[in-house]
Chains A and B, each alone.
Chain A
Amino acid sequence: MTIPTDLKYTREHEWVRQEGDTATLGISDHAQEALGDIVFVELPEIGRVVAPGDAFAVVESVKAVSDIYAPVGGEIIEVNAELESTPEKVNTDPYGAGWIAKVKTSGGSVELLDEAEYTTFLEE
């Protein structure tokens, strides 16, 4: 299982990559592994403003349907429309081609863990 060092993680297993005032969001390798084969990703509307901790997307796997919570607050400025036809990218490349949405951050986040903290959290 991979946990890149340049990302932050939530206890709900989302990751966030902060670059300037833009944050890219997705789910962790652990999350995709636990969910199993992902068959559908419901993407948020561009322009929607989400608060930290809001459910902003839905991921459906063969086992379960799960809400994905925003690690940071802000406006959705871009979504990964590729996932509509190829949701399996969340499984094969969760930190790359499997990203879900980009947010223009406007303050606030849930508790974010760094790589070491997330690793410890997963071991607990």
Chain B
Amino acid sequence: MSAEAIHDAKSYSGVSGMQHEEPLLFEHAHEQATSINLPGVHGEIPAELSPFMRASAAGIPGLSEGEAVRHFVRLSQWNHSIETGFYPLGSCTMKYNPRVNEQAVRLPGLAHLHPDQPEDTVQGALQLLYELQEWLGEISGLPHVTLQPAAGAHGELVGIMMIRAWHDMRGDIKRRTVLVPDSAHGTNPASAALAGMNTVELKSGDNGRIDLDVLKAHLNDEVAALMLTNPNTTGMFESDIAEICRLVHDAGGLVYGDGANLNALVGVARPGDMGIDCLHINVHKTFSTPHGGGGPGAGPVAVNDKLAAFLPLPCLEKDGDSIRIIHHNDHSIGNVFGSIGQTGVLLRAAAYIAAFGRQHLHRIAEDAVLNANYMLARLKDAYHVPFPGLCKHECLLTDEWQERHGVKTLDIAKRLIDLGFHPMTVYFPLIVHGAMLIEPTESESRATIDRFCNAMLEIAKACAAGDTELLHQAPLMPIRRRLDETLAARKPVLVWPG
């Protein structure tokens, strides 16, 4: 039977093969049932509220509790997560989130805290958070840490605000330019702009790395900072990093490190030792806290002595055997979050680090880099590799060889879905045409990586044989076929028309 025929199989429930079709809540809804009994109005509604009275019904769909639960559980079954399968999104570090992290944060002494509890009653939690600060300082080589930022990009903003404050305190107030390589994550220029800086893009060299001559040409007395990611988004280590940092420092600027790719370095090399002044750490990447659902997240920022005075408040300080929450500091950039940080997320990260310990932490980076290079070695004869040589924790391929057969990165990604895998990151970094960025992380087994490589090799083989029809039609198997991304972007329907 063809895929279409399977898809159109007659069904009496909207379900065939227990693969649930699911209409929108509004399409489901009916007038009668509701899962909530509203209390109703007692007495008169005060006259001053009358301008706010609804003229018509709110249009909330009526559903029983059971119907509502099924709706959301069914939708969740369409989803993919690290707990359903391999999730090789490059630059995202989709590693497994160990259950021991969850066990740790569910301990009653940690799970039931209130952010405003007196510090004497939460010493255990504060002790753990303080230790985490110390660990992150040690891992990054930047000893002063704030746990406050609620996400990586928030950390970038906080970092650039501190850098700006450092220049301003020295009276160097014309430094308002932030240099950003064209391979950077899009959040870098956005964060710099939000901090009131002008961003200037640096063109990468032919090897995918920062071109020292381009950098030199852009350094002047208005440059506040260079923002870079190391290894960068092509998966390559910036081998000139020491020279890059020296040049920026000599020109009076600071170096901001985007810690998105810290997984390649953790326990092996330290950004602070490379000359980086300030680094955010994506704990949902490097330290296995859940990525899910857009939050809550945490993006601690680590800085060297130059920037320590500007760290946000409140911060934690050791006072004998106790940890104190400090609310005042002359030069701090102030409050950037409602409390000391996203405690639940941060404690999961602490659990991950503790599980490895100082002795074994380097295994994270070593296995992540080994896995990526194993993958690169298996795929490099089937797919074009734009920057040859060893990669770090992710490998970068392109569709250059497949494009000759009319097959593009998007087709390859969609076909992977049919073959049982979530696709890799596609069309990023922007500087590489038809990019496919694959990051296996340390948590995948060789067997899983082999199965993924086999799927990739099958696609390349079909393509080389001119057998491209399936590739253009893919995906054939999932509940939704290829979506019209262009129409969705040009004419999005964001509001239920009824």
* Residues of chain A whose beta carbon lies under 8 Å from any beta carbon of chain B: 34, 37, 39-40, 60, 62-65, 87-88
Residues of B within 8 Å of A88, CB to CB, are 486, 490
Q: Indicate if B493 sits at the interface (CB-CB under 8 A).
A: no
> In the complex, how many angstroms separate the beta carbon of B394 from the nearest chain A beta carbon?
19
Q: Which residue of A lies closest to B435 (CB)?
A: A63
Whether B433 and A39, one on each chain, are in contact in the complex, defined by CB atoms closer than 8 angstroms, is no
Q: How far is the CA of A40 from the CA of B491 in the complex (A)?
A: 10
Residues of A within 8 Å of B490, CB to CB, are 39-40, 87-88
Whether B433 and A62, one on each chain, are in contact in the complex, defined by CB atoms closer than 8 angstroms, is no
Question: In the complex, which of the residues A34, A62, A64 contacts B489, with contact meaning CB atoms closer than 8 Å?
Answer: A62
Whether B486 and A64, one on each chain, are in contact in the complex, defined by CB atoms closer than 8 angstroms, is no
Residues of B within 8 Å of A63, CB to CB, are 427, 430
Question: In the complex, which of the residues B186, B430, B489 contacts A39, with contact meaning CB atoms closer than 8 Å?
Answer: B489
Whether A62 and B486, one on each chain, are in contact in the complex, defined by CB atoms closer than 8 angstroms, is yes
Residues of A within 8 Å of B381, CB to CB, are none
Residues of B within 8 Å of A64, CB to CB, are 427, 430
Residues of A within 8 Å of B485, CB to CB, are 37, 62
Q: Which residue of A lies closest to B486 (CB)?
A: A37
Please, how many residues of chain B have a CB less than 8 angstroms from a CB on the other chain? 8
Q: Which residue of B lies closest to A85 (CB)?
A: B490
Residues of B within 8 Å of A62, CB to CB, are 485-486, 489
Q: How far is the CA of A37 from the CA of B484 in the complex (A)?
A: 11
> In the complex, how many angstroms separate the beta carbon of A41 from the nearest chain B beta carbon?
11
Q: Which residue of B lies closest to A87 (CB)?
A: B490
> In the complex, how many angstroms separate the beta carbon of A47 from the nearest chain B beta carbon?
22
Residues of B within 8 Å of A37, CB to CB, are 485-486, 489
Q: How far is the CA of A87 from the CA of B486 in the complex (A)?
A: 11
Residues of A within 8 Å of B186, CB to CB, are 65
Whether A39 and B486, one on each chain, are in contact in the complex, defined by CB atoms closer than 8 angstroms, is yes
Residues of B within 8 Å of A65, CB to CB, are 186
> In the complex, how many angstroms separate the beta carbon of B142 from the nearest chain A beta carbon?
32
B401-428 CB contacts (< 8 Å) to partner A: 427
| Residue from B430, B433, B485, B490 whose CB has the most chain A CB atoms within 10 Å | B490
Q: How far is the CA of A63 from the CA of B409 in the complex (A)?
A: 11
Residues of B within 8 Å of A87, CB to CB, are 490
> In the complex, how many angstroms separate the beta carbon of A107 from the nearest chain B beta carbon?
23
Q: How far is the CA of A64 from the CA of B430 in the complex (A)?
A: 7
Q: List 21 A-B contacts (CB under 8 A).
A: A34-B433, A37-B485, A37-B486, A37-B489, A39-B486, A39-B489, A39-B490, A40-B489, A40-B490, A60-B489, A62-B485, A62-B486, A62-B489, A63-B427, A63-B430, A64-B427, A64-B430, A65-B186, A87-B490, A88-B486, A88-B490
Q: How far is the CA of A39 from the CA of B486 in the complex (A)?
A: 7
B129-187 CB contacts (< 8 Å) to partner A: 186
Q: How far is the CA of A34 from the CA of B489 in the complex (A)?
A: 18
> In the complex, how many angstroms separate the beta carbon of A54 from the nearest chain B beta carbon?
12
> In the complex, how many angstroms separate the beta carbon of B123 from the nearest chain A beta carbon?
48
Residues of A within 8 Å of B430, CB to CB, are 63-64
Encode contact with A along B180-203: 1 for CB under 8 Å, 0 otherwise.
Answer: 000000100000000000000000
Known: A37-B486, A40-B490, A63-B427. 9 other contacts (CB 8 A): A34-B433, A37-B489, A40-B489, A60-B489, A62-B486, A62-B489, A63-B430, A65-B186, A88-B486
Q: Which residue of A lies closest to B490 (CB)?
A: A39
> In the complex, how many angstroms separate the beta carbon of B263 from the nearest chain A beta carbon?
25
